[in-house]
Chains A and B, each alone.
Chain A
Amino acid sequence: MAGSSLVTMQNITKAYPGVLANDAVHFDIGHGEIHALLGENGAGKSTLVKVLYGLLQPDSGSVTWQGQAVKLSSPSVARSLGIAMVFQHFSLFESLTVVENIAMGMAVPATDNLRKRIIEVSNRYGLPLEPNRDVFTLSVGERQRIEIIRCLLQNPKLLIMDEPTSVLTPQEVQDLFVTLKRLASEGVSILYISHKLDEIRELCDAATILRGGKNVATANPKEESAQSLAALMIGEDIQPAIRTNQVKLGEPLLALNQLTITSKSVQNMSLRDINLKVHAGEIVGIAGVAGNGQDELLSAIAGETRSSGEMIWLKGEFVSYWSVGSRRQAGLCAVPEERLGHAAVPSMSLSENAFLTGFHRQKLRTAGLVSAGRCKKAANAVIDEFDVQCHGPHSAASSLSGGNLQKFVVGREILQAPDVLVVSQPTWGVDAGAAAAIHKALQGLAKNGAAVLVISQDLDELIAITDRIGALCAGRLSKLYATTDVDAQQVGQLMGGTHSLEVVA
């Protein structure tokens, strides 16, 4: 492949204090090739990609672009060569419009001419987008389209995509793959980073696998199974979560009765007539595309938004007017989607964060004062139980990688032994091993008699672990079905706004 290489990275080494993020990594991608970069959280994928995009300077190593040695000293140098990148955490400006955002990434003025080109590209690749909308009014899927169109407008030779499908519906994923395959057939090389091994097997021509900052293998994903790829990534076989068959249902612990919350602002979805019962011992899944009321539903159940009347019942008592704290005390814990800034305070240590949600249910105070020792113990318990990679309970939440912090915030609630647990996007941006651990913990919790509600955009996850499943669309909840009775396509219909399926097998 050496002759046809678009870019070759050799012996890339990058060290951070205490960590060797990339240790003599090789990477090579050919013209028109869709190449996967695989690895657990912290395996060095982001570092390698940042080097390639000019955001980081490697300590040593070289990059060859179309046979020429190049120095990628900044993203603009990378862009001028024809490297474009769609970030996992979008680098968008919420207060600007779509066209202004695109102009920012391209060093061109936000003119009518640019508007026309945006509409042209969005039609050509099936990515509908209105150039004059303010970004803060857009859904996550729409925001991703901005990033993709921004890249496509630069006629890139290499498109880097970091976890592009984690926020999309199955239909949107299929549409994206059509777009990507079309780009590849036009000669664009695509570097594709994902945790979803099935997607990689469907889409990619080659895969480079990193573990602990080192190359461990280069494989053809079409010839590998998801199992064997995962084994390469983690270095051992993982046991995926397996649904325990038909649990015995207990009492309904959480009940929503015609839950209706009218939103006062354009950014929030209103919730309409949501009826739902979650019983002891079961996991109920709620699918849906981001921005269809997931955040609002979670905050209504958790108590961040108060509802009226007798809309929310917890263990037979109606709690609509209760505060978050009283609900926690009564046994209802929640993990919101946004890890940094919502589930955890970024600048506070893990033990302080353990206190913040734990003090209602765990004895973390002595004589009314925060007990540093007990908080540390509680944080250590989460770190040990959920294998959180960190420097200890004193590390700031913001110093953890996304996956490790996710394990921490989910584990923190599970160890409080709640009767009802509501969790949103439990494994977003988490590697396969950690995801399996979180899934098993959720199942264990349900098995011990808790009612678990999982709100997620990852359909595979919901189908793998839930007992019943439904979908949110435009603030309404579809009928719920036994997960074994429906397939991904049918749940996709529910996500698209179908209230109930006509035929259920």
Chain B
Amino acid sequence: MSDPSTSVLIALTVITAATPLVFAAIGELITERSGVLNLGVEGMMLVGAVSSFLCVHVYGSAPLALLVGMAGGMVMALLFGFLTLSLQASQVATGLALTIFGTGLSALVGQSLIGVAYGGLPKLHIPVLSELPTVGPLLFQHDVLVYASWLLIPAVSIFLKRSRAGLVLRAVGDSHDSAHALGYRVIRVRYFATLFGGACSGLAGAYLSMAYAPMWVENMTAGRGWIALALVVFAVWQPGWVLFGAYLFGGITILQLHGQGIGINVPSQLMSMLPYVTTIIVLVLISLNQGRVRRNAPAAIGQAFHPTT
């Protein structure tokens, strides 16, 4: 196997930077498509990160740790769902509270884990394909979560566009009253969507603590949950554009670091702004298309559903 070139190495760091964003954003996309706005992504990610890292530290099993990370995110999502869907609390306030709660809870649980070392998720080399020059190391020598994030995008896309469950999900997010009138279980659909969002956020967190870092650091998500939330809106709730946005953001983050590294004469604060500014501009341009917004934006987002009539 030939040594990968510098540009391939940079591309690999872009992939690792983008992968947690893809997970968190695609989970939130499904949640929001059902009409639920969960602002607690950051908190769910942190709980996912700490619970998976704790699990791998205690039991040493990476697959189990990933499942536990997902479960951690889902428990947080369940809490959110119970408060907003069953008790009809405000989604915005509850989501913000969930982030604050998740930050504190993960810090508490993770106290003993600070400084603990872990080797990271094993890389899975796809036979034959991973031997290809350039393309091999770029696409076929990753850990399981990177492949999963790539498969998740078309899967969610097909689910939304082609499957009956996806149709019901979109319909519930468009008008819960109409869906209820037709006899669909609005609250149940929203619970499932919220739990899926929690599982994805948990996995995004698990990726950070088990593959990206790999270690536990307090508040290690560093705002990625909020970026994921923004990506969903600017990608107009379309999985393909979420992938694009995540890689654009990840790409510019890494490139500006390298730019700073080789000493481009621009204040570093400006360089650090670059990923945010570029991503927002590009995705705003995408969302200018009125028809696209009308087709994909969940009209009932953030609204509590009272099944009275």
B-side contacts of A54, CB under 8 Å = 183
Q: How far is the CB of A405 from chain B (nearest CB, A)?
A: 16
A110 within 8 Å of B by Cβ?
A: yes
Q: Are A94 and B290 in contact (CB under 8 A)?
A: no
Q: Are A103 and B164 in contact (CB under 8 A)?
A: yes
- Given that A55-B309, A96-B170 are known contacts, is A91 also in contact with B182, CB under 8 Å in the complex? yes
Interface residue ranges of A46-97 to B (CB < 8 Å) = 50, 54-56, 74-76, 79, 87, 90-96
Residue of A nearest to B177 (CB): A91
Cα A103 to Cα B175 with chains together (Å): 15
- Given that A134-B291, A134-B294, A266-B291 are known contacts, is A96 also in contact with B181, CB under 8 Å in the complex? no
A-side contacts of B296, CB under 8 Å = 95
Cα A319 to Cα B182 with chains together (Å): 46
What 1/0 mask marks residues of chain B from 143 to 187 whose CB sits below 8 Å from any chain A CB? 000000000000000000000100110110011011101111000
B-side contacts of A75, CB under 8 Å = 181-183
B-side contacts of A136, CB under 8 Å = 294
Q: Are B294 and A104 in contact (CB under 8 A)?
A: no
Q: Are A266 and B183 in contact (CB under 8 A)?
A: no
User: Which of B167, B184, B291, B309 is within 8 Å of A110, CB to CB?
Assistant: B167
Q: Are B181 and A266 in contact (CB under 8 A)?
A: no
Cα A266 to Cα B290 with chains together (Å): 9
Q: Are B183 and A95 in contact (CB under 8 A)?
A: no
A-side contacts of B171, CB under 8 Å = 93, 96, 100, 104
- Given that A104-B167, A266-B291 are known contacts, is A93 also in contact with B175, CB under 8 Å in the complex? yes
- How many B residues face the partner with a CB closer than 8 A? 23
Cα A79 to Cα B183 with chains together (Å): 10
A-side contacts of B183, CB under 8 Å = 54, 74-76, 79
Q: How far is the CB of B301 from chain A (nearest CB, A)?
A: 12
Q: How far is the CB of B188 from chain A (nearest CB, A)?
A: 13
Q: Are A55 and B295 in contact (CB under 8 A)?
A: no
Residue of B nearest to A85 (CB): B181
Interface residue ranges of A260-281 to B (CB < 8 Å) = 265-267
Q: Are B181 and A103 in contact (CB under 8 A)?
A: no
Cα A75 to Cα B183 with chains together (Å): 5
Q: How far is the CB of B189 from chain A (nearest CB, A)?
A: 12
Cα A56 to Cα B307 with chains together (Å): 11
Centre residue among B164, B177, B178, B184 by max chain A CB count within 10 A: B178
Q: How far is the CB of A163 from chain B (nearest CB, A)?
A: 15
Interface residue ranges of A293-333 to B (CB < 8 Å) = none
User: Which of A87, A92, A103, A134 is within 8 Å of B295, CB to CB?
Assistant: A134
What 1/0 mask marks residues of chain A from 101 to 120 whose CB sits below 8 Å from any chain B CB? 00111000110000000000
Cα A95 to Cα B291 with chains together (Å): 9
* Residues in chain A within 8 A of chain B (CB atoms): 50, 54-56, 74-76, 79, 87, 90-96, 100, 103-105, 109-110, 134, 136, 265-267
